[in-house]
Amino acid sequence: MTGDVFDPEQLSRCISCGFCLPACPTYAMTGDEASSPRGRITLMRALQDGTLPPDDGTLAEQSSFCLGCRACEPVCPAGVEYGSLLEQWRVHQWRGWRRPLVARALMLLVEQRWLLRLSGLVRRAARGRAVTPQAGPTRAAAPAPAAAPGAAAAGGPGAQLMLGCVERGLFPAVSRGAHALAPELAVPTAQGCCGALHAHNGDLAGGERLAERLGADLPGTIVTTSGGCAAHLAAVLGRDRVRELSTWLADRPAGAELRVGGRRARVALQDSCHLRNGLGVFAEPRTLLRQVADYVELPSAAACCGAAGTYSLLRPKESRRILDAKLDEIEAAGVDLVVAVNPGCLRQLRTGLRRRRSPVRAVHLAELLTRVEPPPRPA
Amino acid sequence: MALSATVLAELRGIVGPSHVHDAAGDLVAYARDATPLFSHRPDAVVFPADTAEVAAVLALATRHRVPVVPRGAGSNLCAATVPLRGGIVLVLTRLNAILEVSADELLARTQPGVTSAALADAAAARGLLWAPDPGSRTVATVGGTIATCAGGLRGLKYGVTRNYVLGLEAVLPTGEVIRTGGRLWKDVAGYDLTRLLTGSEGTLAVITEATVALLPAPASANTGVAYFPTLADAGEAVARVIRAGVVPATLEFLDRACIGAVEDFAHLGLRADAGALLLFGDDGPPDLVAAHLDRIGTACVEAGAVEVTTAREVAQAEALLAARRCALPALSRRGGVTILEDATVPRPRIAEMVDRIDAVAARHDVAIATFGHAGDGNLHPTCVLDSAEDHEAVRRAEAAFADIFAAAIDLGGTITGEHGVGAAKLPFLAARLGEDQLALLRRIKSAFDPAGVLNPGKLGS
């Protein structure tokens, strides 16, 4: 008897109506009940009541095959909190050595605050002045976050920009762009990781601990440029503490028109699953984009791009299958830019588009609004 | 009964090794459908790719006396796809192509694994309407919709699925492939096997292709809502609408508990303080729709409606209908187990039936919320229990539903209007059909399925 893996109240809320099936990317891929949210909840119940042994192969496979995109949540009339159940499932499934090595390594890395700080510095040093933001024709160059005055110095808990453990290393221009757009945000560099990575990879307690520590590092409102971090932080610290950048900027003018080749740019948005399905935020980034460019809605904008946190690293084959369909759609839409609001999605789209030598470029919302161009593609 | 290594090897030979699942976890996932309280693990799950593979699997099943349960998305509410005797669950989701949509002939040819909503979308793209509209349309497959003869929100004006099935390709349990009916509106050659298979719940043959009738899409549609102090007032409004000679496309009611549950999910601004709500809608030329909605609104006011509004835009009307489609799962927010039933009475006796349901609920001390298709007399009394573990409460709910079915038959109605019989209603079927007819059903079943392998424990068993 396992018995205590899941919150019984959450588990019992599913009535197996199957309304989640059409929203699920892995069910779309396989047509197999076992890889649908309803089927996975049936598996969770079997684990909970001991019908299946904890080391059952299907349990292991399905807990890892799931993207965790939570597309099943907004369509569930019964209000099942699937994302939370998945986190509980992985706590059980990915204990100790059973956690994928890549996830273990990443989790260890992002917990090292000195390393996070260093990664930003190293990255900047390596790139030299090449990416120092000459932020668009209409805006003054933003100071690099590390050089920005800390809010902590200002005393009271104002609003502060979260740098993100992955983002500050891979996409430092995003934070710089965000700070240029919202100069009132303080940018303390002494801040850790929010722990979303941990929560999604079977370390729920670690995920909560890190989120609380980040909450202490950044008292007051936390503004983040990552949809995934926003959803996780909101779940731990409460919704009132956390704002994703587009909701922070929603009420102010987005700036001058973005032009490509002498005409107004055509842009599309890829939703962040956790931002959209977890927090219900999807209108604000679109509103901002419509102000500066011709906005094109991708038919599957709300569907996962396959990045899904660490998924693209853990299950590259499936991730690629999902991405390929998405890229076909992006190219067919005839857009100049596809915009992401989460670093994982940005990395996924940028890598995929480069691999195809596509003329379409992937940028973060903050980069687009500040006209901070992404590094040029290799020829 | 585990399948022998020989049978498993033969199955793998037919559909390919990756399309036969027999690991414990994979079997658990197919132990149930959308029906509460029914569960049984199959011994293998098989995913055929085409008609030939279906035929080979069925022939093998008959040869080895292995039960086979055909399954689409498993969204039915009568345990029609629970493999009560184990054996093979034959999943038809890989047969998911729409083969043809013909605007000239007003028909479509489709494989069974296509969802009802996808077929509706494909039809709409050609200016056509796929009329059957079950609440689960985004999930439910066309194969399952036909196999259960599903109904839905447009039943009042358009009837149930059987009115739209022109022809079927189906595989008999012995492996022969038959084609019933075809592309013709008029075709009376032979027994009407198309109708016999429609609603046969996978007990006679496995549907591998369907030719279905489409209609020209109506020029416009709109929806309105009327709120009433009590469910009886809403029932009176329905009677007045019908007497006024208006047959709207949709006439749905929700009681107070259902309104609250739907509002919790859909946030449409429904009035949670009303005792009942009537959702009405019609389609056709804009002038006619407006006139009909007006007359329905008047009838509602005469019956005591406290508020009547019509949707201002298409999106709002669609949202109202979508919310109604999810009333059942939304109700589950009220407790741990939600048992929905499906009884139909003649339209003038709806109010009487509602009273009887209330009395039954009180007698058995269970909470029963009711919603349904008021226009066609089809009610969904729904019992919400705290937990399936409370066996005493489950027993009381089951006793209550037995009384409700008896009441429906007593009022000249039936035990299911659109969900089917499956395993859940089988014990009540004799009361509806009588022993002689039941015996005939069994003889028909054995003519199709001499070995008794197809969906045992359901119709014809």
Digit-coded pLDDT (tens) for B59-114? 999 999 999 999 999 999 999 999 999 999 999 999 999 999 999 999 999 999 99
Mean pLDDT of A195-203: 91
Which of B89, B95, B139, B333 is the best residue to mutate to test the A interface, defined by the most A CB atoms within 10 Å of its own CB?
A: B139
Question: Which pLDDT score, from 0 to 100, does residue A136 have?
Answer: 37
Alpha-carbon span A139 to A186, nearest angstrom: 19
Tell me, what's the ipTM?
A: 0.92
Does position A374 have pLDDT exceeding 90, yes or no?
no
Determine, for residues A31 and B91 on separate chains, whether the beta-carbon distance falls below 8 Å: yes
pLDDT tens profile B391-407:
899 999 999 999 999 99
Rounded to a whole number of angstroms, the distance from the CA of A56 to the nearest CA of chain B is 7
Tokens of B57: 């699997």
Cβ-based neighbour number of residue A150 at 10 Å = 13
Residues of B in contact with A59 (CB under 8 A): 25
DSSP assignments along A331-357, one per residue: HHTT-SEEEESSHHHHHHHHHHHHHTT
Facing A19 at nearest CB: one of B47, B94, B329: B329
Closest residue of chain B to A80, computed from CA coordinates: B333
Question: Which pLDDT score, from 0 to 100, does residue A42 have?
Answer: 97
Does position A121 have pLDDT exceeding 70, yes or no?
no
Residues of A in contact with B75 (CB under 8 A): 17-18, 21
Question: Which pLDDT score, from 0 to 100, does residue A111 have?
Answer: 78
Q: A161 and A184 in contact (C-beta within 8 Å)? A: no
Between A138 and A36, name the one with better pLDDT: A36
Determine, for residues A15 and B75 on separate chains, whether the beta-carbon distance falls below 8 Å: no
Q: Which of A59-73, A334-348, B237-251 has the lowest mean pLDDT?
A: B237-251
Strands A242-244 and A259-260: unpaired
Alpha-carbon span B148 to B198, nearest angstrom: 7
User: Would you put residue A164 in left (φ > 0), alpha (ψ -120 to 50) or beta?
Assistant: left
Mean pLDDT of A117-140: 47
Rounded to a whole number of angstroms, the distance from the CA of B262 to the nearest CA of chain A is 8
pLDDT tens profile B336-392:
778 888 999 998 888 889 889 999 999 999 989 888 888 888 999 998 888 778 889
Give the 3-state secondary structure of residue B46. Answer: strand
What percent helix, strand, coil does chain A show, rounded to 5?
A: 55, 10, 40
Longest dimension (CA), chain A: 67
Rounded to a whole number of angstroms, the distance from the CA of B274 to the nearest CA of chain A is 21
Question: Which pLDDT score, from 0 to 100, does residue B108 have?
Answer: 98
Residues of B in contact with A46 (CB under 8 A): 25, 28
- Nearest alpha carbon to residue B42 among B460, B461, B459, B457: B457
Determine, for residues A16 and B136 on separate chains, whether the beta-carbon distance falls below 8 Å: no
Cβ-based neighbour number of residue B4 at 10 Å = 12
Question: Which pLDDT score, from 0 to 100, does residue A120 have?
Answer: 61
Q: Is the dihedral of CA B451, B456, B457, B461 positive or negative?
A: negative
| pTM for this model (two decimals) | 0.90
The vertex-B383 CA angle with B380 and B389, nearest 5°, equals: 145
Spatial neighbors of B287 by CB under 8 A, at least 6 apart, are none
Alpha-carbon span B43 to A280, nearest angstrom: 41
Residues of A in contact with B336 (CB under 8 A): 12-13
Question: Which pLDDT score, from 0 to 100, does residue A358 have?
Answer: 95
Determine, for residues B337 and A15 on separate chains, whether the beta-carbon distance falls below 8 Å: yes
Does position A142 have pLDDT exceeding 50, yes or no?
no
Determine, for residues B29 and A16 on separate chains, whether the beta-carbon distance falls below 8 Å: no
Rounded to a whole number of angstroms, the distance from the CA of B24 to the nearest CA of chain A is 7
Question: Which pLDDT score, from 0 to 100, does residue A293 have?
Answer: 94
Residues of A in contact with B330 (CB under 8 A): 77-78
Residues of B in contact with A33 (CB under 8 A): 29-30, 45, 74, 91
Does position A145 have pLDDT exceeding 50, yes or no?
no
Determine, for residues A16 and B96 on separate chains, whether the beta-carbon distance falls below 8 Å: no
Q: Band the pLDDT of A278: cuts 50, 70, 90.
A: very high
Q: B179 and B143 in contact (C-beta within 8 Å)? A: no
Question: Which pLDDT score, from 0 to 100, does residue A108 have?
Answer: 81
Residues of B in contact with A57 (CB under 8 A): 23, 25
Question: Which pLDDT score, from 0 to 100, does residue A147 have?
Answer: 36
Tokens of B293: 């909605």
DSSP assignments along B371-440, one per residue: EEEGGGTEEEEEEEES-TT-HHHHHHHHHHHHHHHHHHHHTT-BS-SSS--TTTTHHHHHHHH-HHHHHH
Closest residue of chain B to A51, computed from CA coordinates: B28
How far from A85 is each of A30, B22, B132, CA to CA, in Å?
22, 25, 35
For all residues of chain A together, what is the average pLDDT?
86
How far from B19 is each of A343, B9, B50, CA to CA, in Å?
37, 12, 12
Q: Which of A49-58, A149-158, A218-227, A369-378 has the lowest mean pLDDT?
A: A149-158
Residues of chain B above pLDDT 70, percent: 100
Tokens of A176: 């710089």
Alpha-carbon span B72 to B93, nearest angstrom: 6
pLDDT tens profile B102-161:
999 999 999 999 999 999 999 999 999 999 988 899 999 999 999 999 988 888 899 999
